[in-house]
Amino acid sequence: MSEPVLKIAVAGVNGRMGRALVEAIARRTDCVLSGALEHDQSPALGMDAGFAVGLQTNVVVSSDVDAVVRNCDVLIDFSRTDSTLAHLSVCEQYAVNMVIGTTGFDDAGKARIAASAQKIGVVSAPNFSVGVNLTFALLQTAAKVLNEGYDIEIIEAHHRHKVDAPSGTALRMGEVIADTLGRDLKQCAVYGREGQTGARDPKTIGFATVRGGDIVGDHTALFAADGERVEITHKASSRATFANGAVRAAVWLRQCRQGLFDMQDVLGLK
């Protein structure tokens, strides 16, 4: 007997990722859009959730979080940290699972997510692209092999509207490398260089951030030694790759009543 169609609600449905998510859900037969959330000042309120992408979903954009969450199996949220944590509380109240693509949480925010995951199923990841998550696995191998004599730098580029820096994906790349090397990223990360910086500390992991235009997302981990360098790069050309991964995570999460997971779990890479 086949499982019932999964009911998915989307927070921030009128944003770039929200629109991509509406399209991604519409392409699948095992799930359906059941709710669409926006803030109470959004011009999209009262409109069909698919209006911006030329789809008729028969789901009206609403600011009523309780009503939307009550009517879904899982909420996908790519909004802002404060909104996501508020939505998380409502999901916990109604025992609704959640997929979190929002980045920029501080330690308290991360702890709040972990606490909620003791009661509901949560997939939280800095990047839902299948390719990026494969890249994380490749970085583990690279860091194990290039563990001596290589300077490590992470370069990322995004569109002009991105509000956090470095990106969550870049930070996760740094965490993967640092953990593999037995370092603490909080202690070895360098987020900017200016003026008389002195010689590079070989134990540091540097980050460089670019913001401009409509760049969807470029990430490169650079391992540079005397005589050679190795670059592992992922470039996204469409937000569809993130949306497809998030919907895949939502469908996977239906088997979990509680617990905190990431895309490595969803893809079976652990």
pLDDT of residue 153: 98
242 pLDDT higher than 90: yes
Marked catalytic residue, from 158, 203, 234, 235: 158
Clarify whether residues 115 and 245 are in a common domain.
Answer: yes
Give the domain CATH number at 151.
3.30.360.10
- Whether 20 has a pLDDT exceeding 90, the answer reads yes
Tell the burial category of 216 from Cβ atoms under 10 Å away from its Cβ (0-12, 13-18, 19+): middle
- Pair of tokens at residue 94: 């109604």
The two most distant CA atoms of the chain are separated, in Å, by: 67
- Marked catalytic residue, from 7, 161, 162, 235: 162
Residue 1 inside a domain? The answer is: no
Q: Do strands 205-211 and 189-190 pair parallel, antiparallel, or not at all (unpaired)?
A: parallel
110 is catalytic: no
Average pLDDT, the chain: 96
Instruction: Output 2 or 142, whichever has higher pLDDT.
Output: 142
4: confidence class by pLDDT, cuts 50, 70, 90: confident
Amino acid (one-letter) located at 236: A
* Residues 87, 164 within the same domain: no
* 168 and 137 within one domain: yes
CATH number at residue 102: 3.40.50.720
Whether residue 166 is found in the same domain as residue 60: no
Is residue 69 located within the same domain as residue 121?
yes
Closest CA to 93 of 111, 67, 57: 67
Percent over 70 (pLDDT), the chain: 99
Peptide bond into 166 cis (omega under 30): yes
- The answer to whether residue 173 is domain-embedded is yes
* pLDDT value, residue 2: 64
Q: Are 248 and 174 in a shared domain?
A: no
Q: What is the mean pLDDT of residues 153-174?
A: 95
**Do 124 and 10 fall into the same domain?**
yes
Exposed/middle/buried for 211, CB within 10 Å: 0-12, 13-18, 19+?
A: middle
Question: How many structural domains comprise the chain?
Answer: 2
Q: Are residues 181 and 218 in the same domain?
A: yes
Indicate if 120 and 12 belong to the same structural domain: yes
- Kindly state the average pLDDT of the residues 12-41: 96
| Stated pTM of the model | 0.83
Instruction: Answer yes or no: is 114 within a domain.
Output: yes
Domain that holds residue 28: 6-128+239-266
Let me know whether 56 and 161 are in one domain. Answer: no
CA distance 100 to 75: 8
The pLDDT of residue 104 is 87
Which whole number is the average pLDDT over 100-107? Answer: 93
Handedness of CA 171, 174, 179, 185 (dihedral sign): negative
pLDDT for residue 208:
97
> What confidence score (pLDDT) does residue 37 get?
98
Residue 31 has pLDDT above 90, yes or no: yes
Q: Is residue 184 part of a domain?
A: yes
Known catalytic membership, residue 39: no
Q: What is the pLDDT of residue 146?
A: 98
Q: 213 and 247 in one domain?
A: no
CA–CA distance from 218 to each of 51, 80, 167 (Å)? Answer: 29, 21, 10
Say if CB 55 and CB 23 are below 8 A apart. yes
Looking at residue 3, what is its pLDDT?
A: 76
pLDDT tier, 270 (very low <50, low <70, confident <90, very high otherwise)? confident
Task: Please check the confidence at residue 256 and state whether its pLDDT lies above 70.
Answer: yes
pLDDT tier at 269 (50, 70, 90 boundaries)?
Answer: confident
Query: Same domain for 119 and 176?
Result: no
Return the SS3 of 109.
Answer: helix
> Any residues with CB less than 8 A from the CB of 198 and at least 6 apart, and which?
none
Type of residue found at 104 = G
Distance from C-alpha of 260 to C-alpha of 58, rounded to nearest angstrom: 32
Kindly tell me if the per-residue pLDDT of 249 is higher than 70.
Answer: yes
pLDDT at res. 216: 93
Helix, strand, coil shares of the chain, percent, nearest 5, are: 35, 25, 40
- 122 token code pair: 């949560």
Residue 88 CA to residue 37 CA, distance in Å, equals 13
Closest CA to 124 of 152, 105, 107, 137: 105
pLDDT band at 1 (very low <50, low <70, confident <90, very high): low
